[in-house]
Structure 1
Amino acid sequence: MHIIRKAPQFWERRGPSSLLLWPLSYLYGLVIRARQLFADLDLIKTKPQPVPIIIVGNIRVGGTGKTPIVIALAERLAQLGWKPGIINRGYGATNQTIPMQVTSDSDPALVGDEPVLIAQRTANQFPIWVFPKRNHSIAAMLKQDPSINVIISDDGLQHRDLARWPAREGGRDIEFVVRDQRGEGNGFLLPAGPLREPASRERDATLITGSSSDRTTYPAIMDEYFLGRRAFTLQSELGIPYQLQNRNNTQSLQAIADTFLPNAITAVAAIGNPQRFFDDLLKQGVAAKGIALGDHAPLTAEFFSAIQAQRILITEKDAVKCQQIPDERIWVVPMHLSITESMAEWLQSILLRPDPNRYTL
């Protein structure tokens, strides 16, 4: 049984509720088209950045697994000889008036949980800056470290002020749309559906995320708009869980499944797609009771103490908010993702192309 608190169910399929809200979605679509028209007519002046930008975003409200991709991209680009920097809006950050650099010791309440997770997973290998106005973060980052030669933006597809030269096989900047097994739900824009932009928006490539056992579900979401688009499938795998308060204390998922009865295990997820976490655990033999919270929802000691379980499993993203909770039952389940060779080669071919700004009169 799963206790689910998430987006409306009518976002996943069309019905009376979504059709009732469709007129509002139509108005929202008009606003999107007007903004795009202003951009196409160059009525909104933006200054391109001095280094290439890779945007990892989604058109669906809620997470689709962008942060692990950002981490994998930064690590792979570093292996290829690039020096990447990472920017993030800092969702959930409080009292932020200027760009802030994030480290593994930063307070998630001040800078957001995802940037702290990136810093911790990469051992502060890459500069990470957060601020709602991403241009300001870029300026601050490059001022501090001019050697950065590529920037990865965790989200930002709808951030019109973030000027870029979309590659479309010819430029140097790249837009990725991340898509998971949910697809685009009922296909409607907000509020009748889950889409921030039409599913037909241009992009350089689509990144499909999921575990290796999800492959058979993907053909079902390869609908007509997706055909002919460049796409890369990125497989994710759950790692070995570790105790929240003692990272050196580890136990495999198989051992957890063998040690505890299903009713003694609870999985908690405050991410964009909690069900995916629960499903991935089940595929590894861990049948846990699932508690799904809203993306970025706060987690407290009182919340966990009310859970009747011998073992509580959480995601790494949620773990950064729980460092001070002294509950020995809480274990963290890491998730690993790798960039394919074909994707790495394509990235390299785009980033090495000349800066189109040099030839603009």
Structure 2
Amino acid sequence: MALSFFRKAPRFWERRGPTALLLWPLSWVYGLVLRIRKLIYDLGIGNHQASPVPIIIVGNIRVGGTGKTPIVIAIAQQLAQLGWRPGIISRGYGSRQISPTQVRSDSDPMQVGDEPVLIAKRTHDQFPIWVFPKRRQSIKALLKHSPDVNVIISDDGLQHSGLSRWPAREGGRDIELVVRDSRGEGNGFLLPAGPLRESADRGRDATLFTESAGSNKSGLLEEYFVGRRAFTLLGTLGIPYQLNNLANTQTLAQIAEQFLPNQISAVAALGNPKRFFNALQKQGIAGKWIPLPDHASYTPEFFNDIQGQCILITEKDAVKCSAITDQRIWVVPMNLNLPDNLVDWMQSILQRPDPNRYNL
């Protein structure tokens, strides 16, 4: 599968060089398949039954992580504070389940995916979380187990045509949020010549920027965002805690003062690990950066080979390190606050009348 093969974005995705142009015919075929699928959906062919509760899709156009999971967590927590009862569904990257499965904070990330386990840990099992590639089946299982849930947040799923919007909604899902980071759309090509799962000008209710836009070498698509609904969500790094002793904490300033740069290493298995490293640098942390492919797993031997006195990792990496006892490892949390205007806008949509209530 292309999304699995390109776990680490190739450099040619960022500009329209010879390799990208050579692969462009395959991208054209991929785009044709997408257009046929959309036509089938628009004609109403197949069973596209709407969910009994509204769905918020937090997804991306570009392959690889753009910062969706922290946003899912923040939306769920904010809606809960406002009286909503959210549930969360996810594909569960690498999940080995053959049926919808509920995820808890003590679930095995190798079985259900690292991001769902991260959500469960960060929210202390506050919300029901279910994983399965077929998201409609996940929704059915979630609502059967937790019938009080009245809004579902999908971690990814923009390209999952099985998620239909309520009949009273306006085209697409209830709320579709496209998350975009500083890499933008790269060279603007679809897979495999470029990083796009679908055309970057596809409809969406809002774009969420997790970083300021970077230098998009292709110069493409920037005009699309002018005058459209968009929000900037800039996360901040929290106070690091020791992997094997959560009560033991120290600030990034203390780490920078305690260890020399050549004794500090930072490891990140993210879609865009550079974002983590840049955030550390802004906090005065200098050291060796070790980027890994998204969703990479860890072994004690991997950390044993790292020289130095301090190793910094993300919370997403930490959920895969429960069997590792290296005292040098510190976990750096990411905190994210939603702007009030984004929350108010989402609430205005979710508070629309239930169309099923009037189908007598």
Structure 2 length normalisation: TM-score?
Answer: 0.93
Residue equivalent to 1:6: 8
Between Structure 1 and Structure 2, how many residues are aligned?
352
Equivalent pair of 2:52/2:166 in contact (CA under 8 Å): no
Match of 1:63, as an amino acid? G
* Distance of aligned partners of 1:359 and 1:184 in 2 relative to their CA distance in 1, 3 Å threshold: farther
Question: Shift in Å at residue 355 of structure 1?
Answer: 3.0
Deviation per residue, 1:199-242 (Å, 9 max, x gap): 010001111113xxx58989x99811112221111120000011
For the aligned residues, what is the CA RMSD?
2.1
Taking the aligned partners of 1:166 and 1:207, their CA distance within structure 2 comes to 25
Equivalent pair of 1:171/1:355 in contact (CA under 8 Å): no
Match of 2:294, as an amino acid? D
Residue equivalent to 2:265: 266
Match of 2:349, as an amino acid? I
Residue equivalent to 1:309: 308
Taking the aligned partners of 2:147 and 2:295, their CA distance within structure 1 comes to 32
Deviation per residue, 1:16-56 (Å, 9 max, x gap): 11111111111111111111111111113210010000000
Q: Which runs of 5+ in 1 are unaligned?
A: none
Q: Which runs of 5+ in 2 are unaligned?
A: 1-6
Taking the aligned partners of 2:251 and 2:164, their CA distance within structure 1 comes to 45
Residue equivalent to 2:282: 283
Deviates more, 1:54-63 or 1:158-167: 158-167
Question: Shift in Å at residue 263 of structure 1?
Answer: 1.2
Equivalent pair of 2:165/2:172 in contact (CA under 8 Å): no
Residue correspondence of structure 1 range 5-84 to structure 2 within 5 A: 6-84=8-86
Residue equivalent to 1:349: 348
Deviation per residue, 1:297-346 (Å, 9 max, x gap): 11111111011121000000000000110100110000000111100110
Match of 1:24, as an amino acid? L
Equivalent pair of 1:87/1:151 in contact (CA under 8 Å): yes
Match of 1:278, as an amino acid? F
Taking the aligned partners of 2:140 and 2:30, their CA distance within structure 1 comes to 32
Equivalent pair of 1:71/1:118 in contact (CA under 8 Å): yes
Taking the aligned partners of 2:74 and 2:170, their CA distance within structure 1 comes to 22
* Distance of aligned partners of 1:133 and 1:171 in 2 relative to their CA distance in 1, 3 Å threshold: closer
Look up the SS of the partner of 1:266 in the other structure: strand
Identity across matched positions, percent:
69
Look up the SS of the partner of 1:55 in the other structure: strand
Residue equivalent to 2:192: 191
Residue equivalent to 2:127: 126
Structure 1 segments, 4+ long, off by >6 Å, are 166-172, 215-218
Question: Shift in Å at residue 165 of structure 1?
Answer: 4.2
Taking the aligned partners of 2:142 and 2:154, their CA distance within structure 1 comes to 13
Residue equivalent to 1:339: 338
Equivalent pair of 2:103/2:129 in contact (CA under 8 Å): yes
* Distance of aligned partners of 1:159 and 1:358 in 2 relative to their CA distance in 1, 3 Å threshold: same
Taking the aligned partners of 2:167 and 2:339, their CA distance within structure 1 comes to 22
Residue equivalent to 2:102: 101
* Distance of aligned partners of 1:285 and 1:152 in 2 relative to their CA distance in 1, 3 Å threshold: same
* Distance of aligned partners of 1:22 and 1:221 in 2 relative to their CA distance in 1, 3 Å threshold: closer
Structure 1 length normalisation: TM-score?
Answer: 0.93
Equivalent pair of 2:181/2:213 in contact (CA under 8 Å): no
Look up the SS of the partner of 1:235 in the other structure: coil
Look up the SS of the partner of 2:115 in the other structure: helix
Equivalent pair of 1:101/1:129 in contact (CA under 8 Å): yes
Deviation per residue, 1:83-108 (Å, 9 max, x gap): 000001111122x1111111111111
Taking the aligned partners of 2:238 and 2:213, their CA distance within structure 1 comes to 19
Residue equivalent to 2:118: 117
Match of 1:89, as an amino acid? R
Taking the aligned partners of 2:173 and 2:305, their CA distance within structure 1 comes to 51
Taking the aligned partners of 1:360 and 1:274, their CA distance within structure 2 comes to 49
Taking the aligned partners of 1:326 and 1:203, their CA distance within structure 2 comes to 44
Taking the aligned partners of 1:43 and 1:124, their CA distance within structure 2 comes to 38
Deviation per residue, 1:167-223 (Å, 9 max, x gap): 97789811100001111111110001000000010001111113xxx58989x9981
Equivalent pair of 1:70/1:152 in contact (CA under 8 Å): yes
* Distance of aligned partners of 1:168 and 1:12 in 2 relative to their CA distance in 1, 3 Å threshold: farther
* Distance of aligned partners of 1:78 and 1:227 in 2 relative to their CA distance in 1, 3 Å threshold: same
